């Protein structure tokens, strides 16, 4: 399990609808990407969530655009006239995260594309597992591209890691995630219990460990005196223990549905 590395060669345009001011950029492979900045207000933890959740989704067979590591040179700030963007580029010099840009994609509309019951249930399961607060009717973070559904923007998930002391909180992995009641698809799902065992079985401890190992050391802020190795262990423990049956996040989703 590896991610490709690209070098950002051109800053194209900001995506100002994003809270962290992501941008469309061009890279040295001639590809276009949506760049998520390490130096944005949400900090590197948003990139950790984007990476970990995106790769978990890929293991679960969900439609996630390719994620790459994007090297950003602070010299790109010299040609940027916007002071805020120029400062953001300088703060983010080094390894950032980028997602494949889907040109011409549109926000998911159920009148345009029907999602079958199985996929819909697997998306809700996934979002409940990763505590994704950002798949609401107002902002579904789902795109239609080439008549296919794509899931984007998982930087707000894993919000537990913003709480002090989460690394040693034994109860944290067993939270029920009550905010699943706001999920855009929850009221439509019919097979949540049916997909539960299969989804959980796909995420072995070894698979989770390989995903967490992808996180660059520079993104793992030293919280509570823990080094990057201890932080990786904490993420693995949380994500593994959250899968233990009975899964409170599934019981909560079924209850509020």
Task: Count structural domains, the chain.
Answer: 2
Sign of CA dihedral 210, 212, 217, 223: negative
Q: Are residues 115 and 197 in the same domain?
A: yes
pLDDT-derived band at 78 (thresholds 50, 70, 90) equals confident
Q: Are residues 110 and 209 in the same domain?
A: yes
The predicted structure's pLDDT at residue 193: 95
Q: Let me know if residue 224 belongs to a domain.
A: yes
Q: Let me know if residue 154 belongs to a domain.
A: no
The predicted structure's pLDDT at residue 16: 67
Q: Give the C-alpha separation, 111 to 219, whole Å.
A: 40
Q: Give the C-alpha separation, 223 to 221, whole Å.
A: 6
Q: Are residues 171 and 188 in the same domain?
A: yes
Q: Are residues 12 and 130 in the same domain?
A: no
Per-residue pLDDT reduced to its tens digit, 151-182: 999 999 999 999 988 999 999 999 999 999 99
Q: Are residues 239 and 116 in the same domain?
A: yes
Average pLDDT over residues 12-34: 88
The predicted structure's pLDDT at residue 18: 55
CA 248, distance to chain mean position in Å, is: 21
Q: Give the C-alpha separation, 149 to 147, whole Å.
A: 7
Q: Are residues 10 and 137 in the same domain?
A: no
Q: Are residues 125 and 176 in the same domain?
A: yes
Average pLDDT over residues 47-73: 98
Q: Are residues 245 and 119 in the same domain?
A: yes
Q: Are residues 110 and 95 in the same domain?
A: no
Q: Cβ(142)–Cβ(108) under 8 Å?
A: yes
Q: Which of the residue ranges 81-85, 99-103, 196-200 would you say has the lowest mean pLDDT?
A: 81-85
Q: Are residues 13 and 94 in the same domain?
A: yes
Q: Give the C-alpha separation, 76 to 41, whole Å.
A: 20
Average model confidence (pLDDT) across the chain = 94
| Three-state helix/strand/coil letters over 142-207 | EEEECCEEEECCCCCCCHHHHCCCHHHCCCHHHCCCHHHHHECCHHHCCCHHHHHHHHHHHCCHHH
Average pLDDT over residues 112-132: 97
Q: Which of the residue ranges 79-83, 95-99, 183-187 would you say has the lowest mean pLDDT?
A: 79-83
Q: Cβ(32)–Cβ(25) under 8 Å?
A: yes
Q: Are residues 28 and 122 in the same domain?
A: no
Instruction: Show the domain range for 27.
Output: 5-100
Q: Which residue has the higher pLDDT, 203 or 41?
A: 203
Tokens of 238: 């949380």
Question: Residue written as tokens 């909560």?
Answer: 252
Per-residue pLDDT reduced to its tens digit, 225-236: 678 899 999 999
Tell me which residue of 1, 2, 223, 254 sits closest to 128, measured CA to CA: 254
Whether pTM > 0.85 for this model: the answer is yes
Q: Are residues 121 and 180 in the same domain?
A: yes
The predicted structure's pLDDT at residue 160: 93
Cis? peptide before 246, omega within 30° of 0:
yes
CB-side neighbour CA atoms (13 Å) of 198: 11
Q: Give the C-alpha separation, 130 to 141, whole Å.
A: 15
Q: Which residue has the higher pLDDT, 222 or 83?
A: 83
The predicted structure's pLDDT at residue 71: 98
Burial class from Cβ neighbours inside 10 Å (0-12, 13-18, 19+) for residue 36 reads buried
Q: Let me know if residue 204 belongs to a domain.
A: yes
Angle at which helices 44-59 and 228-241 cross, to 10°: 40
Is the model's pLDDT at 224 over the cut of 60? Answer: no
């Amino acid at each position: 399990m590896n991610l490709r590395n690209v070098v950002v060669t051109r800053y194209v345009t900001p995506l100002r609808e994003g809270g962290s001011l992501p941008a469309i950029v061009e890279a040295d492979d001639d590809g276009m990407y949506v760049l998520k900045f390490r130096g944005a207000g949400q900090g590197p933890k948003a990139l950790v969530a984007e990476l970990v959740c995106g790769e978990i989704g890929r293991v679960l067979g969900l439609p996630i655009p390719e994620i790459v590591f994007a090297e950003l040179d602070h010299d790109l700030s010299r040609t940027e006239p916007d002071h805020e963007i120029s400062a953001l580029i300088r703060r983010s010099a080094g390894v950032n995260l980028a997602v494949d840009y889907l040109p011409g994609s549109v926000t998911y509309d159920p009148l345009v594309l029907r999602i079958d019951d199985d996929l819909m249930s697997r998306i809700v399961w996934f979002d409940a597992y990763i505590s994704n607060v950002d798949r609401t009717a107002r902002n579904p973070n789902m795109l239609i591209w080439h008549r296919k559904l794509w899931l984007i923007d998982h930087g707000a998930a894993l919000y537990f890691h913003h709480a002090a002391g989460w690394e040693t909180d034994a109860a944290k992995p067993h939270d029920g995630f009550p905010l699943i009641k706001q999920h855009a698809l929850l009221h439509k799902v019919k097979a949540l219990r049916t997909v539960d065992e299969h989804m959980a079985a796909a995420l072995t401890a070894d698979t989770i460990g390989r995903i967490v190992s992808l996180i660059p050391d520079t993104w793992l802020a030293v919280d509570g005196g823990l080094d990057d190795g201890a932080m990786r262990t904490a993420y693995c423990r949380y994500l593994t223990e959250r899968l233990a049956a009975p899964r409170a996040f599934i019981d909560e989703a079924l209850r509020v549905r």
